[in-house]
């Protein structure tokens, strides 16, 4: 993005007339469109590349089901392209069409959420804890997660989605439910990491986390690198950073709680403020003297721990006869009384959301130090993207204007960054292979014209994410096999020119969801709040932080995700770190993963239930085997696989019988053992 290295990433989006052949190739065996016009996505004769062959319908169906969230194989039709598709020169498999038609159920938003918007959500989903030293839970976090999934399901326009997340509370609403949806959407900003036991301490770090996420997610820029000085590589100044900082410093962030203040503050209630006060006011009045007494006791204990001397005091404030044990006992009693009142207090609907505070411009913090203030930086957008200031006399934070600047169709980055993420979601790597860095240190687009075309199509389709999915999935490029011509590897070993489809390992959530699906255990319902303890029981500290695992048979995006403690399953299979913006996930192969697939109780249970399903559905082993392969791998077994599997089942029954397994369990246990092996195969875990 720096001077002299544009890469086509900051140009105005061009007129895309004549570029409709970029994605859709009339014949999968051919690299050219009409009149010999070369397709930038087809093989490149000048680079001596040979065309790849199209994948089988079954392979395409399996990938389509994975990417669209189609619930089961019954939704897939292994038929030939329609007459209309053939006549229009489009390779349009019925299996992919069936999956695309099904992108309206709960699974569709989940499928897109995991990776296409992973950077915005700091991982696979919105974290359910705040991230301070005690890592207090946020029971309301599920509202934002479900808002995102529902937005994808409804194919909400992406520009509208951006505006709601950054400034939903400042947008006009036509009804109470719409207003509440807008408020919940600002959970995107509220999800920034907390660093302190007090709401105001280290807020500058929470704002820095927000700016970092905003810049990378929507603009593909590392704006946070300008916090201490001008950006070393991109045209983003220190004042640019603090112009955005002032907007967010004029915003009130909610506080989830800490060991010093173990209750929520500044959450946004669904009811109007006067009604909230009428309901909660009496309880808060009863809590006020207890809070004051607790503060006195903590100061008293602190002074006693310091030898009876309080820093800054001219006299010794602690009576000599008061012991630490006595003070501790009183603190315990006061906390018990507080918990009793909190247990009585109603829990009103509220959201982990932001709101405007007194608007102001922020000073530049010299070298990022909040104790060293420099000149004031007026609130505005990044200079390199226009530098638009706030309207004269503005009485708001500036989030409304910021949202409009980012979502403006004239912004040269927003659409390109998102379509690049969608491309990466399908192909494993983007057209720009540094999806959160379109700057000078980022990589050059492999197909700049295609990036422009997709971005233009995205905007002209009304910012429809589903239409971009459809465009990509119905292209010949998407349908190319993963075992392309070997001679192409000499010219393009990294497959940047897309002459084959890179084999991809399913992500952690997909592997778990697939096991739940084939076993019949998947609960497709949308999840609500997790089973967190009642607020009256909240008393976690940095030495005894919150930690929990909540088991569920719902999709993995609904797993409770903590910031301070990685989920054991997700971390084993390279799940995203919930503490950082994750542009790309790693895909490792470790012994621990193999051990999990062999020994985990989760896998053993799924295998037994999978066995129960096929035993009930088919009367003999041959038909059961066919059903098992179709369900797990999307294809029937080969003749050799059939013979080997039947032999394994016979041997397994003999060994189980010798081990004393009852006759009624022999069939189930032998099949469970075999299916555990099927679930551990590369073919189940990887997608071609």
pLDDT tens by residue, 475-514: 888 888 888 788 888 888 888 888 888 888 999 999 999 9
Contact 551, 543 (CB under 8 A): no
**Burial environment of residue 22 by CB neighbours within 10 A (0 to 12, 13 to 18, 19 or more):** buried
Higher-confidence position of 245 and 32: 245
Query: What is the average pLDDT across 145-159?
Result: 94
pLDDT, position 78: 31
Strand bridging mode 373-377 / 251-252: unpaired
Residue 280's contacts (CB-CB under 8 Å, 6 or more residues apart) are: 345, 346, 348
Query: What is the average pLDDT across 614-632?
Result: 96
Contact 455, 419 (CB under 8 A): yes
Q: Residue 422 — pLDDT band, cuts 50, 70, 90?
A: very high
Per-residue pLDDT for 171 more than 60?
yes
- Domains of the chain by residue range: 271-348, 595-687
Please state, for a pLDDT cut of 90, what percent of the chain lies above it: 64
Per-residue pLDDT for 59 more than 80?
no
Q: From 195, 132, 263, 128, select the one nearest 549 (Cα to Cα).
A: 128
Per-residue pLDDT for 436 more than 60?
yes
> In 3-state terms, what secondary structure has residue 502?
coil
pLDDT, position 18: 30
pLDDT, position 178: 98
pLDDT, position 73: 46
Q: Residue 23 — pLDDT band, cuts 50, 70, 90?
A: very low
**Burial environment of residue 408 by CB neighbours within 10 A (0 to 12, 13 to 18, 19 or more):** middle
Strand ranges for 448-528 from DSSP E: 504-505
Contact 614, 621 (CB under 8 A): no
pLDDT, position 664: 84
Written as six digits, the tokens of 308 are 């009876």
pLDDT, position 108: 54
Per-residue pLDDT for 147 more than 70?
yes
| Least confident interval from 241-245, 455-459, 517-521, 562-566 | 562-566
- Report the b/e string of 24-37 with b at 16+ CB within 10 A: bbbebeebbbeeee
Q: What average pLDDT is seen over the chain? A: 84
pLDDT, position 371: 92
Per-residue pLDDT for 314 more than 90?
no
pLDDT, position 598: 95
pLDDT, position 485: 82
pLDDT tens by residue, 328-356: 899 999 999 999 999 999 999 999 999 99
pLDDT, position 118: 54
pLDDT tens by residue, 261-286: 888 999 999 999 999 999 999 999 99
pLDDT, position 473: 87
Per-residue pLDDT for 48 more than 60?
yes
Query: What is the average pLDDT across 529-533?
Result: 96
Written as six digits, the tokens of 73 are 């194989």
pLDDT tens by residue, 540-596: 999 999 999 999 999 999 999 999 888 999 999 998 888 877 777 888 899 999 999
Torsion angle defined by CA atoms of residues 579, 585, 586 and 590, in that order, rounded to the nearest 10 degrees: 80
Helix then strand then coil, % of the chain, to nearest 5 = 50, 5, 45
pLDDT, position 166: 98
């Amino acid at each position: 993005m720096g001077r002299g290295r544009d890469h086509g990433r900051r140009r105005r989006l061009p007129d895309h007339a004549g570029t409709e052949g970029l994605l859709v190739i009339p014949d999968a065996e051919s690299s050219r469109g009409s009149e010999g016009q070369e397709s930038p996505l087809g093989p490149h004769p000048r680079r001596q590349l040979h065309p790849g062959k199209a994948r089988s319908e079954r392979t395409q169906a399996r990938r389509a089901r994975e990417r669209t969230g189609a619930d089961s194989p019954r939704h897939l039709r292994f038929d030939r392209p329609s007459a209309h598709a053939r006549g229009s020169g489009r390779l349009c498999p019925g299996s992919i069409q069936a999956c695309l038609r099904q992108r309206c159920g709960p699974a569709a938003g989940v499928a897109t959420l995991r990776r296409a918007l992973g950077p915005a959500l700091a991982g696979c989903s919105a974290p359910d804890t705040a991230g301070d030293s005690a890592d207090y839970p946020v029971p309301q976090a599920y509202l934002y997660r479900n808002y995102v999934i529902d937005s994808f399901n409804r194919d909400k326009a992406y520009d509208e989605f951006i505006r709601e997340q950054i400034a939903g509370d400042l947008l006009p609403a036509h009804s109470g439910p719409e207003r509440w949806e807008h408020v919940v959407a600002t959970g995107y900003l509220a999800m920034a990491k907390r660093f302190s036991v007090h709401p105001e301490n280290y807020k500058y770090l929470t704002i820095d986390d927000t700016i970092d996420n905003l810049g990378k997610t929507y603009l593909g820029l590392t704006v946070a690198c300008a916090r201490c000085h001008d950006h070393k590589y991109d045209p983003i100044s220190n004042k640019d950073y603090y112009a955005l900082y002032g907007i967010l410093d004029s915003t009130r962030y909610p506080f989830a709680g800490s060991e010093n203040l173990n209750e929520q503050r500044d959450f946004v209630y669904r009811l109007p403020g006067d009604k909230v006060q009428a309901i909660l006011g009496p309880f808060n009045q009863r809590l006020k003297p207890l809070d004051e007494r607790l503060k006195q006791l903590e100061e008293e204990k602190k002074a006693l721990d310091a030898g009876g001397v309080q820093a800054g005091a001219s006299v010794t404030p602690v009576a000599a006869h008061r012991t630490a044990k006595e003070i501790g006992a009183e603190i315990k009693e006061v906390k018990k009384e507080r918990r009793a009142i909190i247990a009585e207090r109603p829990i009103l609907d509220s959201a982990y959301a932001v709101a405007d505070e007194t608007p102001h411009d922020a000073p530049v913090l010299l070298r990022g130090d909040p104790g060293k203030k420099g000149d004031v930086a007026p609130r505005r957008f990044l200079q390199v993207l226009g530098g638009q200031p706030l309207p004269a006399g503005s009485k708001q934070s500036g989030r409304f204007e910021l949202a409009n600047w980012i979502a403006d169709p004239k912004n040269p980055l927003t659409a390109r960054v998102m379509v690049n993420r969608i491309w990466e979601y399908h192909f494993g790597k983007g057209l720009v292979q540094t999806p959160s860095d379109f700057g000078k240190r980022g990589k050059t687009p492999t197909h700049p014209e295609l990036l422009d075309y997709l971005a233009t199509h995205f905007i002209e389709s009304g910012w429809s994410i589903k239409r971009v999915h459809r465009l990509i999935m119905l292209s010949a490029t998407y349908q190319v096999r993963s075992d392309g011509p070997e001679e192409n590897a000499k010219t393009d070993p990294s497959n940047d020119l897309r002459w084959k489809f890179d084999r991809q390992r399913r992500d952690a959530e997909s592997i778990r969801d697939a096991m739940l699906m084939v076993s019949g255990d998947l609960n497709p319902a949308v999840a609500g709040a997790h089973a967190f303890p009642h607020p009256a029981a909240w008393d976690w500290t940095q030495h005894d932080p919150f930690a929990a695992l909540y088991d569920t048979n719902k999709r993995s995006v609904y797993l409770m995700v903590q910031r301070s403690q990685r989920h054991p399953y997700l971390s084993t299979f390279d799940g995203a770190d919930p503490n950082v913006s994750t542009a790309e996930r790693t895909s490792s192969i470790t012994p621990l993963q193999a051990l999990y697939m062999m020994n985990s109780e989760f896998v053993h249970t799924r295998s037994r239930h999978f066995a129960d399903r096929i035993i009930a559905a088919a009367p003999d082993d041959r038909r059961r085997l066919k059903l098992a392969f179709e369900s797990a791998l999307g294809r029937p077994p080969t003749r050799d696989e059939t013979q080997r599997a039947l032999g394994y089942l016979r041997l397994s029954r003999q060994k189980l019988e010798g081990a004393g397994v009852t006759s009624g369990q022999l069939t189930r246990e032998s099949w469970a053992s075999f299916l555990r092996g099927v679930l551990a195969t590369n073919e189940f875990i990887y997608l071609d």
